[in-house]
Structure 1
Amino acid sequence: MPKLTKAVIDGAELRDKQYTIWCSDLKGFGAYVHPTGRRTYFVDYRSGDGARRRMTIGRHGVITADQARKLAIETMGGIVLQKADPLLERKTRRKSLTVSQLCDQYLKAARKGLILGRSRRPKKASTIAIDTGRVERHIKPLLGS
């Protein structure tokens, strides 16, 4: 198990199947070597519930071995100190609604008459037109997706 450096990663031989090179300095830090020649850095850790997880850090060439090591240290530090699960956070963030999607759902519901105004009646078409203008001109450009 050598220390993962640019020379070690670049010098890794290609095989018929993907294999892993582990870093001798940092437990849980490694790199995949794919049969295509692509190399990917990752962190291997245990989540709060004891499940073993692997989180990809980045591709070799896009980030250096030193940058990947620093990201691995930060990731593992967050896991230990905050009892956080970065993979779970990443999945949750991907599944959550964006502001743009929320606005689109609101306008769709308003057009169907599901959003009530002050008088407890569905919003009028003119009010929905005003809301649509506000969303398109102000909310989406300011907050984005």
Structure 2
Amino acid sequence: MSKRRGSKYRSGTSTNWLKAKCYAIGEFDLLGVEREAGKPAFALMAERGTGCYAGSAFIILNRDMRERLWKRVQEHAGTAPKGMKRPAIQWVKPGLVATVKHLRGEEDLRHASLQDFRGQFRGNRNRAWFRYRARMLDKLFLAYLPTFWEENPPLGLDG
């Protein structure tokens, strides 16, 4: 709560007192998505690393991002975590990370909204891509190194 300097407390509605909310943005693991007709869609979130349930966040993405999210959720459908049995939830395999805006200073997610997401799924295609990228960087480095040393010879210890 904030108040104007010099104003006194009076009961009732007043412009002298202002309730301010402070938000934070954090990354959470996406556990699942609940979509029911006539209700806003929301995502169940877990703390990164521990996997402990952190709360839910409304999905307020634009149409393109929302469609990408639904597609990703369907492609990586998973089973419910132990102890969580909610029939309307479509569960997701671990690996989908979401950026969530939420009230700062709260233990659980409050007034949370899903802002963005990215996949960190581990699969053969991703692993192969990283191997290929490492090989190409090695080739580039080995091809560039001799010309670099010719153009910029190392200095001796005495300068």
TM-score (norm 2): 0.27
Q: Using CA pairs below 8 Å that are at least 6 residues apart, which structure has the higher relative contact order?
A: 2
Bigger strand share: 2
